[in-house]
């Protein structure tokens, strides 16, 4: 069995209002020195069988992320 982990984040040039809100909250809650927060999402996919890495990249680039505003990284962990 393999575990595929896809991390999706906004491209650096895209404004991240949720990250800015969290950054402000962290300061108000006493965490000093926070200069930036970017939010993202993670998909964890367990696959029982043959892993087609090319197909996974295609799905990550077209289904799990929006290629116009997001980047993704994909890693495969063998169990």
> What CATH number corresponds to the domain at position 58?
3.30.1280.10
Instruction: Look at the chain and report how many structural domains it folds into.
Output: 1
pLDDT in tens, 44-65: 999 999 999 999 999 999 999 9
Separation between Cα atoms, residue 56 and residue 45, nearest integer Å: 10
Q: State yes or no: pLDDT of 79 exceeds 80.
A: no
What is d(CA 76, CA 10) in angstroms, rounded to the nearest whole number? 21
Provide the domain limits for residue 74: 2-78
The pTM assigned to this predicted structure is: 0.87
């Amino acid at each position: 069995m393999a575990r595929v982990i896809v991390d999706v984040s906004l491209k650096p040039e895209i404004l991240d209002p949720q990250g800015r809100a969290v950054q402000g909250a962290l300061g108000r809650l006493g965490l000093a020195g926070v200069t930036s927060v970017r939010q993202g999402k993670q998909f964890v996919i367990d696959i029982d069988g043959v892993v087609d890495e090319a197909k996974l990249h295609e799905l990550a680039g077209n289904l799990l992320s929006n290629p116009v505003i997001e980047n993704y990284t994909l890693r495969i962990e063998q169990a």
